[in-house]
Amino acid sequence: MLEIGRIRNEKEAIIEGLKKRNIDATTTLDQLIEKDASWRAAKTELESIAAELNKLAKEIGQLFKEGKASEAEAAKTQTSELKATENSLKQDVESFEKEITQLLYTLPNVPNEEVKAGKNETDNEVVFESNRTHTFDFEPQAHWDIAKKHELIDFELGVKVTGAGFPFYRGKGAKLQRALIAFFLDEADKAGYEEFIPPLVVNEASGYGTGQLPDKEGQMYHCTVDDFYLIPTAEVPLTNIYRDVILPNEEFSIKLTGYTPCFRREAGSYGKDVRGLNRLHQFDKVEIVRIEHPRNTANALGEMLDHVKGLLDKLELQYRILRLCGGDTGFASALTYDFEVYSAAQEKWLEVSSCSRFDTFQANRLKLRFKGEDKKSQLCHTLNGSALALPRIVAALLENHQTPEGIRIPDALRPYTGFDFI
RNA sequence: GGAGAGUUGGCAGAGUGGUCGAUUGCGGCGGUCUUGAAAACCGUUGUACCGAGAGGUACCGGGGGUUCGAAUCCCUCACUCUCCGCCA
């Protein structure tokens, strides 16, 4: 959520920034500024009436104490008119607040200066390409065929027991999952991220904190009996650790990681894009989350990119990094880099990681702040990234490391799998 | 699931209708003393918002109510703890 003060002060810059997302925010911002002014006027008036009422109440108390009951009764009548005005002002203030919040919820984050304008994924820029390529002297098979042949993943069994998008992993397929999770967590640990095992369901407040609610409600599974939501990513519980927190000084750099299954209802996709492991309702992911002083955000994002690069290099995969254009950058993000690995068999790039900086957008909703040197509190910056999401990594490993002898496990992973080939 | 007790400032813990944003202790910060530290003593120490400022408003788990006036009374919801039951 954007800060109202920023809208007041930097209206033109926000309008320019949001143009990169193909959004003309002029009307919304004008409405916000107008409503904010009305709100402040009403609020000032309300507070002065409240002050007067407080004063009268004290005087009445004093009169009773001195035994001047009749004077006190007379003073009481004075308050009724003021109270009526107070009540109507209270309602005004509340309705302005509600309208302002509603409008603020509709505005996405302002893209970073590095973000280029653009409509959709076709306008994303490739900013890095790894120097590895995968070549085959035979026709490579798609991962769903490989998985079936080696009995690694059973999609039909998932349909039977749960439904589409909930596969069973079995045998070496299950061990490969476990190996990847352990590998990713160990690498995150080496990079200084503290490991957490968070709850997999969260309450409503946490959903609001990271911005899944109120808008993207349909994306999450909702346990209505208890009003809990299944997490769509570990970002939600990990970032919400710091909801309503004021860090005591400017010396902080918080690095968290966690492995969780992720649950996404994700309606509306079908066909080849969702075949096999490409899109699931439940999948595994190791997430990294950072909470940073604004001055360190750019640096932190760079470190996250290097970290993910390192993972993909160790897995010996061909990949590239995209800087998302305005139109493709997520609602809460100011700047997002996507990692894609090449799938030789599917002849397409698969997104395996997304690293974003949210600047104050999440922190504002989370009320996550730090005390500056001047003792005033300021909003922190939050960042997060996948390091990494498993299903597409598994797809890429199976497809790109297939040999006539089977699937070759990259060296870095062998200590974790305990086998060299599938 | 049943019964009971709770929820107050960083922590502990007072406060049952007015002078309570809140006693006190611990912790934190500043100072005195000390070569330095500890102890002792003195002072200070929540958050947010409105206001140019003076100042003001709100917050004692959340929401609502009673009252001129609520941390304090009433209703409601959430959570925590204890005992019993059930259970990995």
Contacts of A106 (CB under 8 A, 6+ apart): A28
| CB proximity A225–strand B (7 Å threshold) | no
CATH number of A121-417: 3.30.930.10
Q: Which of residues 34-53 of A touch strand B (CB under 7 A)?
A: 40, 43-44, 46-48, 50-51, 53
Estimate in Å the CA A53 to C1' B51 gap, whole number: 19
Where do we find the tokens 């509603």? Answer: A102
pLDDT digit string, tens, across residues A154-179: 999 999 999 888 999 999 999 999 99
The residue-averaged pLDDT of A33-55 equals 92
pLDDT digit string, tens, across residues A73-102: 888 888 888 888 888 898 899 899 989 998
pLDDT of residue A211: 83
pLDDT of residue A136: 86
Estimate in Å the CA A53 to C1' B57 gap, whole number: 12
ipTM score of complex: 0.84
pLDDT bracket for residue A268 (50, 70, 90) = low
- E strands present in A197-295: 201-202, 222-223, 228-230, 246-247, 253-263, 282-292
Contacts of A39 (CB under 8 A, 6+ apart): A93, A96, A97, A100
Estimate in Å the CA A241 to C1' B28 gap, whole number: 24
pLDDT of residue A62: 83
Q: Which residue has the higher pLDDT, A214 or A38?
A: A38
Estimate in Å the CA A176 to C1' B3 gap, whole number: 50
Estimate in Å the CA A10 to C1' B64 gap, whole number: 39
pLDDT of residue A309: 97
Protein residue with the closest CA to the C1' atom of nucleotide B18: A61
The residue-averaged pLDDT of A25-50 equals 94
Distance CA A15, CA A33 (A): 13
Helix A26-65 with A11-19: angle, nearest 10 deg:
140
Nearest nucleotide (C1') to alpha carbon of A377: B47
pLDDT digit string, tens, across residues A341-391: 998 888 889 999 999 999 999 999 888 988 887 778 889 999 999 999 999
Question: Would you list the domain boundaries of chain A?
Answer: 4-106, 121-417
In this structure, what token pair is assigned to residue A183? 């590998």
The residue-averaged pLDDT of A142-156 equals 92
Other beta carbons within 10 angstroms of residue A340's beta carbon come to: 21
Residues facing residue A258 across a β-bridge: A196, A287
| The CATH fold of domain A4-106 | Helix Hairpins (1.10.287)
Q: Which of residues 357-386 of A touch strand B (CB under 7 A)?
A: 369, 371, 375, 377
pLDDT of residue A149: 92
Other beta carbons within 10 angstroms of residue A347's beta carbon come to: 9
pLDDT of residue A418: 93
The residue-averaged pLDDT of A11-23 equals 95
pLDDT of residue A194: 94
pLDDT bracket for residue A251 (50, 70, 90) = confident
**Residue % of chain A over a pLDDT of 90:** 65
Given a cut of 90, is residue A422 above it in pLDDT?
no
Which nucleotides of strand B come closer than 7 angstroms to any CB of the protein?
A: 18-19, 47-51, 55-58, 68-69, 79
Nearest nucleotide (C1') to alpha carbon of A79: B68
pLDDT of residue A272: 55
Exposure on the CB side of residue A324, measured as CA atoms within 13 A: 25
Given a cut of 70, is residue A321 above it in pLDDT?
yes
Given a cut of 80, is residue A220 above it in pLDDT?
yes
